[in-house]
Amino acid sequence: MAFSASVSLFLVISAITCLNSVSGDLRADLKDFAALVPRRRIGFIAARYYIFDPKFRQAVEFIRSDEFLTTWQQVRAAPDFVNIINYLTENGSGYDITTLVDSLLNRLRAYQLSRTVPVELMLRRDLTTFLWDIVQSLPRTRIYSLISQKKRQSSEFAKLYKALRDKEFKELVQSARRSGQLQAPIKKLKQKSINVDELLQILFEVISWGPQIS
Query: Do 20 and 10 touch, CB atoms closer than 8 A?
Result: no
Tens of pLDDT, residues 71-119: 999 999 999 999 999 999 899 877 677 777 777 777 777 777 777 777 7
Interatomic CA distance for residues 85 and 178, integer angstroms: 17
pTM of the complete model? 0.80
Interatomic CA distance for residues 27 and 92, integer angstroms: 10
* Average per-residue pLDDT for the chain: 81
Q: What is the DSSP string of 56-111?
A: HHHHHHHHTSHHHHHHHHHHHH-HHHHHHHHHHHHTTTT--HHHHHHHHHHHHHHP
* CB atoms closer than 10 angstroms to residue 20: 8
Tens of pLDDT, residues 160-203: 999 999 999 999 999 999 999 999 999 999 998 888 888 888 88
Percentage of residues of the chain with pLDDT beyond 70 = 81
Query: Do 49 and 135 touch, CB atoms closer than 8 A?
Result: no
Q: Could you give the C-alpha distances from 165 to 56, 75, 118, 151, 177, in angstroms and in order?
A: 31, 23, 37, 13, 18
Q: What pLDDT, on a 0 to 100 scale, did the predictor assign at position 132? A: 66
Interatomic CA distance for residues 166 and 45, integer angstroms: 32
Q: Could you give the C-alpha distances from 114 to 41, 46, 47, 50, 117, in angstroms and in order?
A: 10, 8, 6, 10, 7
Percentage of residues of the chain with pLDDT beyond 90 = 37
Query: Do 114 and 47 touch, CB atoms closer than 8 A?
Result: yes
Question: With bands split at pLDDT 50, 70 and 90, how would you rate the model's confidence at 126?
Answer: low
Interatomic CA distance for residues 105 and 128, integer angstroms: 26
Q: What pLDDT, on a 0 to 100 scale, did the predictor assign at position 199? A: 81
Interatomic CA distance for residues 3 and 97, integer angstroms: 24
